[in-house]
Amino acid sequence: MNFDALFQQQNALPTIPKVVQEVIDSFNNEDVSIDEIAKKLSADQVLSAKLLRLANSSYYHASRSVGTVDDAVLMLGFMTVRTLVVSSGLTGGFKAMPGVDLKKFWRYSLHTAIIGKWLAKQLKGNSDFAFTVGMMHAIGQLVMHAAMPENMLQIDKVASPYDSRRLDVERTSFNYNFSDVGAELAKRWRFPDNFASVILAFPEPLSATVFEPMAAVIHIAAWRSRALENNYSAEELQATFPEDVAKKLGISATLILNDMPPIAELSEGMEDLIA
């Protein structure tokens, strides 16, 4: 199926709640009324209940109980609330599809997001942006599975979704891969341009015309999250570490392999996001 035809498939594109689209639009709007968005979020019972569960989770160590969306904005800040709302909208937008273990897919995405956030913090980068784009970086796989399930099941037999060869296998088969699809989806959902450019560049951040540090952050985070899904040994982690990308970022393998807290510890309290 060619790239344009993929996006003509009605069942391929997830639906996200109107309020989530408004939160996405707020990325592009300096004058956004936070109170207005909080009011709309409060009116969405499912979304606000999930937001409050997350705000009260051990992940955020809130100093007191968060009882309303306004409290969440006050305690966590609008940027973090927005990150959580958009991430919840993404995970809720896709329903069961043949051949895809959605639980596993979102766990891998969440781990990429959390590692990306941690690494961005070490580099004094935008950690909320790293988290959101980490959650989104592989979403093109779901669009492709929904649009052409048979073709994708064939690809799954050659390279699983968590195989480092996956992007190349898709490109060889279709002339595009899930990062191309994810970047296009980010544009269609009206995310700021840097979301699409990072998703597009993360597979090979050093090949981009202009080096984008966040694409390199997501590249390393996705590698570490894949390694967890594939139960890499310490030797395999060392052998497959993306040395050249890390060097360009100015970090060493030690930072990721030794200094970073265990992934289970980093993600504790965030399980509700993908429940």
Residue 61: per-residue pLDDT? 82
Show the domain range for 9.
3-274
Residue 229: per-residue pLDDT? 96
| Average pLDDT taken over every residue of the chain | 93
Residue 96: per-residue pLDDT? 83
The mean per-residue pLDDT over the stretch 39-45 comes to 92
Whether 56 shows a pLDDT value over 80: the answer reads yes
Residue 39: per-residue pLDDT? 92
Question: How large a percentage of the chain has pLDDT more than 70?
Answer: 100
What's the pLDDT tens digit per position in 57-67?
Answer: 989 887 889 99
pTM, 2 dp: 0.94
Chain-centre distance of CA 230, in angstroms? 19
| Residues 59, 127: Cα–Cα separation, whole Å | 15
Residue 93: per-residue pLDDT? 85
Residue 175: per-residue pLDDT? 96
8 A C-beta contact, residue 198 and residue 214: yes
What's the pLDDT tens digit per position in 229-240?
Answer: 999 999 999 999
Work out the pLDDT band at 152, boundaries 50, 70, 90.
very high
The mean per-residue pLDDT over the stretch 17-33 comes to 88
Whether 246 shows a pLDDT value over 80: the answer reads yes
Residue 169: per-residue pLDDT? 97
Sign of CA dihedral 150, 154, 157, 163: negative
Q: How many domains does the chain fold into?
A: 1
Chain-centre distance of CA 81, in angstroms? 15
The mean per-residue pLDDT over the stretch 174-188 comes to 96
Residue 130: per-residue pLDDT? 97
Whether 23 shows a pLDDT value over 80: the answer reads yes
Q: With helix as H, strand as E and coil as C, how does the chain read?
A: CCHHHHCCCHHHCCCCCHHHHHHHHHHHCCCCCHHHHHHHHHHCHHHHHHHHHHHCCCCCCCCCCCCCHHHHHHHHCHHHHHHHHHHHHHHHHCCCCCCCCHHHHHHHHHHHHHHHHHHHHHCCCCHHHHHHHHHHCCHHHHHHHHHCHHHHHHHHHHCCCCCCCHHHHHHHHHCCCHHHHHHHHHHHCCCCHHHHHHHHHCCCCCCCCCCCHHHHHHHHHHHHHHHHHCCCCHHHHHHHCCHHHHHHHCCCHHHHHHHCCCHHHHCCCCHHHHC
| Residues 191, 213: Cα–Cα separation, whole Å | 19
8 A C-beta contact, residue 126 and residue 274: no
Work out the pLDDT band at 272, boundaries 50, 70, 90.
confident
Q: Which CATH number do you get for residue 236?
A: 1.10.3210.10
Residue 17: per-residue pLDDT? 86
Q: Among 98-102, 152-156, 220-224, which range has the highest average pLDDT?
A: 220-224
Residue 14: per-residue pLDDT? 83
What's the pLDDT tens digit per position in 107-136?
Answer: 999 999 999 999 999 999 999 999 999 999
